[in-house]
Amino acid sequence: MRLILLGPPGAGKGTQAVRLTERLGVPQLSTGDMLRAAVAASSPVGLQAQAMMERGELVSDEIVLSLVAARIEQSDAQRGFVLDGFPRTVGQAVALDTMLGEMGLALDAVLELQVDLNALVARMTGRVAEARARGEATRADDNPDAFRTRLETYREQTVPLSSYYAERGLLRSVDGMLSVDRVAIDVMSSLGLKL
Ligand code: ADP
C-alpha cells in the first residue's frame, strides 16, 4: 500500500507512521528524518538544508524531490511505503504524481490527522520540556520561534493539499486529538483494516 500521512508538526504523524509500517510491513519514508541524517553527516545536501530547517522553513523542492525519488526506488519500498512529511506543497504533490506515474505506480490513500493548530504550540512545548527533563536530546527546530514558523508554513503551503487529494478521491480524515491508540484504530479503519 502506498500512503501519505498528512498533518501539522506535532500532530503525531511519526507515531502513527510507525504503527502503520508495522501493520502493513512497508517502510516509513520521512523526509524530515532523511534531511536530519544529511545534516548529521554534513553531506552537501545537509549543508544546504540546515539553516532552513533550523528556522522552520521549507527546504527546496529540488533537494527534497531527489531524496524521495532515490528512496522510493530502493528495494524495501517496492511493496509500498508510508510517506511522512512529504509532500508539503501542491508543487511537491504534482511532482510526486509525475514521479509515481513514470514508475507505473499510484497512491492508495492520503491520511489526514486533523488537529487544532492552536493546541499544538502547547503540546510541543510540553513535549520538549519532558524530553529535556529525561535528559534526552531535542531537535534544533524544537524551539517556540521555529515551531511557530513550521506551523505558519504548514497553514500556508500544506493545508491546500487536503483539497488537492480530496478532489482525487484519496483523502481520509481522522481526528488526531484523541488518544494515540484511538487514532491508530481510526487510521486503520479508514483504510478498511483492523489493528
Ligand atoms: P515536522 O513535521 O515536525 O515539522 P519534519 O521532521 O517532517 O518535522 O521536518 C523538519 C524540517 O525538515 C521541516 O521544517 C523542513 O525544514 C524540512 N522538510 C521536511 N520535509 C520537507 C519537505 N517535504 N519539503 C521541504 N522541507 C522539508
Q: Under a CB-based contact definition with an 8 Å cutoff, are residues 175 and 114 in contact?
A: yes
Nearest CA to ligand 1 atom 2: 9
* Tens digit of each residue's pLDDT (9 = 90 or more) over 63-89: 999 999 999 999 999 999 999 999 999
Looking only at Cα atoms, what is the longest distance across the chain? 48
Position 95 pLDDT exceeds 90: yes
Active-site residue identified among 127, 132, 155, 182: 127
Question: Is 155 annotated in the active site?
Answer: no
Distance 81 CA to ligand 1 centre (A): 18
CA atoms lying within 13 Å on the CB side of residue 49: 27
Q: Which sign does the torsion angle of CA 75, 47, 135, 12 carry?
A: negative
Taking the model in full, what pTM does it have? 0.92
For residue 151, give the C-alpha cell: 506551523
Percent of the chain predicted with pLDDT > 70: 100
**Domains of the chain (ranges plus CATH)?**
2-190 (3.40.50.300)
CA atoms lying within 13 Å on the CB side of residue 168: 14
- At residue 195, the pLDDT reads 78
Best residue for ligand 1 mutational test, from 150, 152, 157 (most atoms within 8 Å of Cβ): 150
* Tens digit of each residue's pLDDT (9 = 90 or more) over 116-137: 988 898 888 898 899 999 999 9
